């Protein structure tokens, strides 16, 4: 996703001098091409993310479209006050970009585990929150947030993610992408869990279960219509995210369902609200946290079983 993001930013910068990139002194292998080609549209304030955000807000209020960029929690949690007061309050055209959502930097420990960012950024007024599911969505999302007038949070994976989409996509902020249809259960994923959601659906198909998969790349504004349509048509919904179960995708979908009055079996698959004491690869940490494909399949089967009991009871 990281490479797709930089490819899109460079193409945008070439055609629009308002595009600026402000980074927190990292990622030189991917950052240097932008710095060399567009020196007047690039700034590195150093390891000072609060300053980075304040500078970005100032540039935006002078007419620029500014992407800030850093690892995991650093452009978000380290400078929440500046994001809230400088960016969101003024509805500044700043696009906060985080690389390494979830456990992508798992070997560096909990300080680099971005597991609460979606909840916190989603709560801020004026903020649009986007977590693309693969490199195809990442490139489209970069262009979409650049065109959007106002603050955005773009949450990326680290590198090496596979393309889940096999062709061109129609990407629109606030509109989920239906990856496959199904009428037994709906899997709604956000961010880098899209590939796992698709693998889960395929395993369920082999078990005779037809799963619908929605890529909910935008958490705010959420595609309420897609959620409610899934509730009516499948009666069973499970959210899948590499983020705390509190405040992220699962919470957003639960809010819609609770206020809709729809009778639906619902389950959030995500991370417990606790710090991980483990270090290791992203795959290892996902598995230990119950985010493996096998664990998601098992959870879906249990959820469908509970739904059948409700139906049998006349609920």
pTM here is 0.95
Which CATH number is associated with domain 2-156? 3.40.50.970
- At residue 315, the pLDDT reads 54
The pLDDT score that the predictor gives to residue 10 is: 96
Nearest in space to 158 (alpha carbons), one of 62, 72, 258, 285? 72
Q: Which fold has domain 177-312?
A: Rossmann fold (3.40.50)
pLDDT tens for the chain, 315 residues long, are 999 999 999 999 999 999 999 999 987 788 899 999 999 999 999 999 999 999 999 999 999 999 999 998 999 999 999 999 999 999 999 999 999 999 999 999 999 999 999 999 999 999 999 999 999 999 999 999 999 999 999 999 987 899 999 999 999 999 999 999 999 999 999 999 999 999 999 999 999 999 999 999 999 999 999 999 999 999 999 999 999 999 999 999 999 999 999 899 999 999 999 999 999 999 999 999 999 999 999 999 999 988 877 666 665
pLDDT of residue 306: 83
DSSP state of 161: P
Residues 6+ apart with CB under 8 A from 85: none
Q: What is the C-alpha to C-alpha distance for residues 130 and 71, in angstroms, rounded to an integer?
A: 16
Residues facing residue 128 across a β-bridge? 152
Q: Find how far residue 88's CA is from the centre of its chain.
A: 19
How confident is the model at residue 191, as a pLDDT?
Answer: 96
All structural domains of the chain with their residue ranges: 2-156, 177-312
Q: Do domains 2-156 and 177-312 have the same CATH topology?
A: yes
Q: Is 202 a catalytic residue?
A: no
Q: What is the C-alpha separation between 106 and 119, in angstroms, rounded?
A: 20
Q: Would strands 211-215 and 152-156 be described as parallel, antiparallel, or unpaired?
A: unpaired
pLDDT of residue 314: 61
Which phi and psi angles does 209 have, rounded to 5°?
A: -110, 130
**Which residues are CB-neighbours of 126 under 8 A, at least 6 positions away?**
88, 89, 91, 150, 151
Angle between helices 2-15 and 28-37 (to 10 degrees): 10
Distance CA 2, CA 11 (A): 14
Distance of alpha carbon 166 from the chain centroid: 20
Map residue 194 onto helix, strand or coil: helix
* Residue 27, pLDDT score: 74
Q: Which of 11, 14, 32, 49 is catalytic?
A: 49
Predicted local distance difference test score (pLDDT) of residue 160: 82
Which among 97, 9, 93, 16 has a CA at the least distance from the CA of 56? 93
């Amino acid at each position: 996703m990281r490479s797709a993001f930089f490819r899109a930013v460079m193409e945008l910068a070439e055609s629009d001098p308002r595009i600026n990139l402000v980074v927190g002194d990292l990622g030189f292998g991917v950052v240097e091409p932008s710095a060399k080609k567009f020196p007047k549209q690039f700034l590195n304030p150093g390891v000072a993310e609060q300053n980075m955000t304040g500078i970005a807000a100032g540039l935006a209020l002078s007419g620029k479209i500014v992407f800030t960029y850093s690892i995991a929690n650093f452009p978000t949690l380290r400078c929440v006050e500046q994001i809230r007061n400088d960016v969101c309050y003024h509805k500044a055209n700043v696009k906060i970009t985080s690389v390494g959502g979830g456990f992508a930097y798992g070997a560096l420990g909990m300080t680099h585990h971005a597991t609460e960012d979606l909840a916190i950024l989603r709560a801020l007024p004026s903020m649009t929150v986007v977590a693309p599911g693969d490199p195809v969505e990442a490139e489209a999302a970069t262009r979409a947030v650049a065109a959007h007038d106002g603050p955005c949070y773009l949450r990326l994976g680290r590198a090496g993610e596979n393309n889940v989409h096999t062709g061109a996509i129609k990407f629109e902020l606030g509109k989920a992408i239906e990856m496959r249809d199904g009428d037994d259960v709906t899997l709604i994923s956000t961010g880098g869990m899209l590939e796992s959601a698709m693998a889960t659906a395929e395993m369920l198909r082999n078990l005779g279960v037809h799963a619908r998969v929605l890529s909910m790349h935008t958490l705010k504004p959420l595609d309420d219509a897609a959620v409610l349509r899934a509730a009516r048509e499948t009666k069973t919904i499970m959210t899948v995210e590499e983020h705390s179960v509190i405040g992220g995708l699962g919470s957003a979908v639960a809010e819609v369902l609770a206020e809709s009055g729809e009778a639906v079996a619902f389950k959030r698959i995500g991370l417990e609200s606790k710090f991980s004491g483990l270090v290791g690869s992203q795959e290892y940490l996902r598995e230990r946290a119950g985010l493996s494909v096998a664990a998601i399949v098992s959870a879906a089967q249990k959820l469908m079983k509970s739904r059948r009991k409700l139906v049998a009871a006349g609920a």
